[in-house]
Structures are given as structure tokens and as C-alpha cells.
Structure 1
Amino acid sequence: MTARGVLIAALLAATAPHAMAAEPAAGPAATGEITDEIVVTARRSGAPMWTIKTPTGAVILVGEIRNVPKATPWRPERLEGATERAQRVILGTKAKVSPGDILRLIFKGGGLTKLPKGRVAADYLDVHQIARLRALEARFDQDYAQKNFLMTAFDLLAKRLAFNRDTADDASDIVRKAANRADIPAQPVGEMRGEDMLDNLFAAAPATHIPCLDAAMTATEAGGDIVAARGQAWTEFDVPAVMANPLERALGRCWPWTNDGFGPALRQQWVGAISDAAAKPGVTLAVVPLLVLAEPDGVLDRLRAQGLPIVGPAWTAPISAGASPS
């Protein structure tokens, strides 16, 4: 698939339908033993999660990594069972993409896939970075000299490291399908217009994607073993190990998460939605990207700062003796 085709596919995938069943009529809140049963069932899936207990229910936060390898030992059917007993579900941001957005990308997408006319990678990268890029070009018989750094990063991660091959359904896919079958109301945490996304990408200076490229090169240099290691650490609830994995670090350093326009807004959407859910009766199950849940000053840190009682695996690495907190 061409780089432009990748962008089109990504925008179309972002418009996947979300279950939108009506909120059920008010009734007895899922408290006490029922809430505990849902939490236990969800935890047995093998995905890391955190629980916020409230006087009238709970909020379950499932920390999602995308493109889970099929070999990863987890039990998605347990997550399905928990979803079917929840009162509501919160999923990721939904992109509203119009036919006009797709046509714009088809006819003007060259500005997203290539560096500005007359410029090459060596004009932006330091000596060490360009040496690493050229070594990867030779290794994979590719020419990245004029390619947009975001597209080069995607090529390295998806085609060379192959992190998205032989994967199973992600947690959000599992929960979405289960909610649809059980008529559980589900909604995206927020929405973004495709036009705004494209405007943001077209306006981004090449240098803004260098951290993404640098992290993608590090992940590719580390080799394919990091893909399985990331999945294994995820099911062992070793969240610091997942966050330190070169693949997860690369995904977290690429657009839109690091973009000044979108990144902070995406994170705050999650904080606001979870805070609102904690005030509602019954059980809310939210599937949240682990990279924004467990990062420093991420969603979990911000919810804890609000005084919400969070129960679940540690999400920050312990500080070694003699080290100072960052």
C-alpha cells in the first residue's frame, strides 16, 4: 500500500461505527456484589485495568494497546462478559470523515507524504540521525530521503518491524462488538472532524515529526522481539515495562498524541469523561489507550490528583535508590 493509501485507510478506519443504544431506564444500581462480579470478570481477561469504586457503582478503565499479537495469552471472552453486564461503555475518539476529506487527501496528499520540494532528510536530521536512517535504508533497500518523516516512521513500524501483522481484535473491538450485541449504550469519548485532522497534518512542519521518526528508528533497530515482549508485559500487568517498550514509546511519540493542537485535548477528553462517569450509578467500562493512561501526568495521574480512589496495577516504575524523581 502506498503512503497516501495508508493515510486514506487510517481516516476511514477512524470512522468505524460505535454502538449508540439508548440509555436504559433507571433502575437499581449495579452495586455491591454485582459490581464486584463485573470487576472480577473483567480482570480475568488478562488486560491491565483499574477500578474507581463509587457509592453507587464503579468505573472500570481497560488499558488498551493496539495491534495485540495473536500469540498474546489473554482471554477476551472475559472482557465480553463484563461488557454485557455494564450499564454503559466509553470508547476512543471518533473521527468524522466526509467524502470531501477523502478526495482532498487523494488529490493533495503529496504534501503529507513527501518533504517540501527541494528538501531532503539530511536538511533536518542531525549527523547521528541521518547515519541511522541511511543504515536502515540500506538494510531494507528503501529510499527515505524525500519522504515525510511521519510516513517513514509508519513504514518502519508497520512494514519493517511488522508490529500490525498476525494480530487479534483489540480490546476496543471486543468491547464494541459485545456492547452492540447486548444493546449496551456506548459512545466515543469525543469527536474530531476529518477536515481539522487534515488541516493539522498539512500545517505540521517536517521537524515536528522528527521525534516520531527517531523513536520509530529505535524500535526498528531493536528488532521484532519487542513486539511479542510488549504483548507479554501487557498481560502480566507490567505497565512500566509496556510503557518502556520501544514500540509503545514510538507509537506514543507520533501524531496525533504529541501534537500541540490535538494531544492535550484528547487527554482531557478522557479525564472529563471518566470524571463524569464516576458520578453516574452503575458500572461504566471505558477502553483507554494505555499510552495516555499511564504516561507521566497522564489520565491516571490526573484522576488520582482529583482524589478519585484508583485500584489496579502500578503504572509508574519505582524510583531506584539514589535517583531523583523526574
Structure 2
Amino acid sequence: MMIRQLPAWQFACAVLFGLSAVSAFAQEPTPQNAIVVTAQRSGAPMWTIDTDSGTVILVGEIRAVPKSTPWFPDRLEEATKEADRVIIRAAPKFSPGDFFRLIFRGGRFTKLPDKTVAGEYLSAAQRARLAALEAEYDIDYDRRSFLMTSFDLLARRLDFDDDTTKDATDIVKKAANRADVPITRPERFRGEDLLDNLAEAPPESHIPCLEAAMDATEAGQPIIEKRGDDWRSFDIPAVMDNPLEIALSRCWPWADDELGDEIRGQWISMISDASEQTGVTLAVVPLRVLAEPDGVLDQLEAQDFLIGGPDWRPAG
């Protein structure tokens, strides 16, 4: 089966002129195509799956879109109101007991174990890079867990989530609730399971996350705006190659093999189920889950789904 992928510039032209990336040359517009056109005019990158009974729209979401990124959330909201159903991510399910567990076991998540220090796990070059960042920001990371250090570098030093717009998930959720559009979410992870998974992870497993967080922090704030601009211009390989996106994808829980596979499996299952439904399904999916190698788009393509939208793989 032919898989129709459009280069980024062709996809952008289709959106600009009000055409569906999959059905731009259809003889007669349909209500389904109208919803696709409205969604695409929001400026968010997306893919469509056309079936005999309906259409699935996959919106590739990045978190913390800068306010400087010129997209139009109101158009995504409008498309949501006309959809037959939506799929959005779910927050973990934490119980009161999980919060007590976090309080009493908090040191296992925030500190390196057994009073060890960073230099006992890192190479000399890695420790030197971390020392340079400690000096620059006047902070001591020596006893902190590598995951907490990474989060601190990205959120407080790089400050990637400051001055941002609402995420696509929040926009779609609010619009769907107002219009009484049914919402489907993945099965929620239990807080207990997440905390156990994190507590059992050895410090070494978070070193790739730390290295990527240092890369992003050293690159500085220009990568934040570039990530938003590349996302808006449908240059998916450039977004995926951005140091910030790489850092977010290499940190827990995404980088955990068990959790990562389960997250991907949930999305594949929900999208496959939606493809059998009548009408239009609008799904907001993390872009890194969609476009990563052997990610959701690759796996859907392997199942012979007809996918329309921008290229998600690097050229060549």
C-alpha cells in the first residue's frame, strides 16, 4: 500500500491554501475533510489516516511551545468541536498513599545512593562539564540524583518552559469538554508503579539524560525558539534533532524501556481502534512518540495504514 508523505514545504502549501495533505486533490469536499482543513490551519504539524469509515487526525504535540511561535490554537479548538471523538494523554494516577511514600522515600529519588557522589559514576570529561555548569550557576550537584540534576538544568537554568502558550492537549481537552465531544485517554499509570520504577533505576541509567540536559543547557536559549519555529514549519527531523527535544526524550520516563514501550503500545492500540470508528477522531500525541525511530508513525506504516502528512524521517 502506498504511504503518502509530503515534504514539509508541500505540506505547508497545502495548509496555506486550505487543502488537506491527504485529500488535497479530492473532487468533492466532505465534512471530514473540512475538519482536517480547519485543524491543519492551526499550524500544528499533523498526520491523517483515512479509512473506509472515517479519518484519524494525529496532532504532533511538543510541550512548552514558546509564545513567539506563530500558531493558531483557536483553529485547533474549532476542529475539536466538530470532531466525533478525541484522544489525549493522561496524567499519572497518584493516591494519598503515594504522596506519603514520596515523602518517606524522597531521598531515593533526589539523592545519589549511599552517600556516593557524581564523580563515582561519571567519566572525568562528564564530571568536568558538570563542574563548569555548577560554577556558572553557583550550585552544587555533587550529591543530587542525575535525574533531578537534569530537570534542574532544563527547567531552571535553560528555563525552557517559561513564557509559553497552552499545550495542544489542554486546548483540545477544554474544547471537547465544552462541546461534549467524547474523550479517550490511555490507561493511567499508577503513582505507586511509577515511584517503584524510579526507585529501582540505578544512577547509571540516568547518565544519558544528564548528558543530553548538559548539551541543551550549554547550547542556550536559542534552541528553544528554534524548536518552536521548526515545529511550526513542519520540519519534524529538525525538531527531533533539537538538543532540547533530545534531552526530554532521553529522560525518565520516556527513556525507560519498560515504561516507554508501554506508552507507545497504548497509543498504537488507541489509534488502531479509532481507525475502525465512523467519523473523525482527533488525537493529540507527543511528537517524540510519533516521530522517533520505530515510533508510532513507523509502526502504523508497518501495519499498512495510509498516512498523509509531513516527512518525519531525516532525508536520505
- Normalised to the residue count of structure 1, the TM-score between the two structures is 0.87
What's 2:252 paired with?
255
Alpha-carbon distance in structure 1 between the residues aligned to 2:267 and 2:29: 26
* Structure-to-structure mapping, 1:185-200, within 5 angstroms: 185-200=182-197
Counterpart secondary structure, 1:192: coil
- What is the Cα deviation at residue 313 of structure 1? 0.4
Q: Take 1:60 and 1:32, find their aligned partners in 2: how far apart are those partners?
A: 17
1:231 corresponds to which of 206, 216, 228:
228
Report deviation, 1:118: 2.3
Q: What is the one-letter code of the residue matched to 1:212?
A: C
Match of 1:314 in 2: 311
Q: Which amino acid aligns with 2:314?
A: A
- What amino acid is aligned across from residue 286 of structure 1 in structure 2? A
Change (3 A) 1:289 1:123: same
Q: Given the alignment, which residue of 265, 272, 276 partners 1:275?
A: 272
Counterparts of residues 146-295 of structure 1 (less than 5 Å) = 146-295=143-292
Report the Cα offset of residue 117 of structure 1.
2.2
1:286 is paired with a residue whose SS is strand
In the other structure, the counterpart of 1:36 is: 33
Cα offset, 1:93, TM superposition: 3.2
- Which amino acid letter does the alignment assign opposite residue 157 of structure 2? R
The aligned amino acid for 1:148 is S
SS of the residue aligned with 2:189? strand
Query: What are the within-5 Å matches in structure 2 for residues 18-167 of structure 1?
Result: 33-167=30-164
1:32: Cα distance to partner? Answer: 5.9
What is the Cα deviation at residue 305 of structure 1? 0.4
1:168 is displaced (CA, Å) by 1.1
**How far apart, CA to CA, are the structure 2 residues paired with 1:111 and 1:105?**
9
Question: Gapped runs of 5+ residues in structure 1?
Answer: 1-30, 320-326
Determine the C-alpha separation between the residues in 2 that align with 1:187 and 1:102: 27
Between the aligned partners of 1:94 and 1:222, the Cα distance in structure 2 is 30
- Matched-pair contact (CA < 8 Å) for 1:94–1:188: no
Cα distance in 2 for residues equivalent to 1:52 and 1:263: 24
Alignment partners' CA distance in 1, 2:114 and 2:163: 37
- SS of corresponding position for 2:114: coil
Task: Say which SS state the counterpart of residue 109 (structure 2) adopts.
Answer: helix
Query: 1:77: Cα distance to partner?
Result: 0.3
RMSD: 1.0
- Which residue of structure 1 aligns with residue 12 of structure 2? none
What TM-score does the superposition give when structure 2 sets the normalisation length?
0.90
SS of 2:58's equivalent in the other structure is strand
Q: Distance in 2 between matches of 1:116 and 1:194?
A: 22
Aligned AA for 1:153? Answer: S
CA distance in structure 2 between the aligned counterparts of 1:129 and 1:75, rounded to whole angstroms: 41
Using the TM superposition, name which of 174-183 and 88-97 deviates more: 88-97
Q: Within 1, Cα distance between the matches of 2:110 and 2:181?
A: 40
Question: Structure 1: which 4+ aligned runs deviate by more than 4 Å?
Answer: none
The aligned counterpart of 1:13 is none
Larger RCO (CA within 8 A; separation ≥ 6): 2
2 CA distance for matches of 1:102 and 1:178? 31
CA contact (8 A) 1:292 1:299 kept: yes
Give the 3-state SS of the residue equivalent to 1:159 in structure 2: helix
CA distance in 2, matches of 1:73, 1:180: 25
- Shift in Å, 1:107: 2.4
For residues 90 and 77 of structure 2, the distance between their equivalents in structure 1, rounded to whole angstroms, comes to: 21
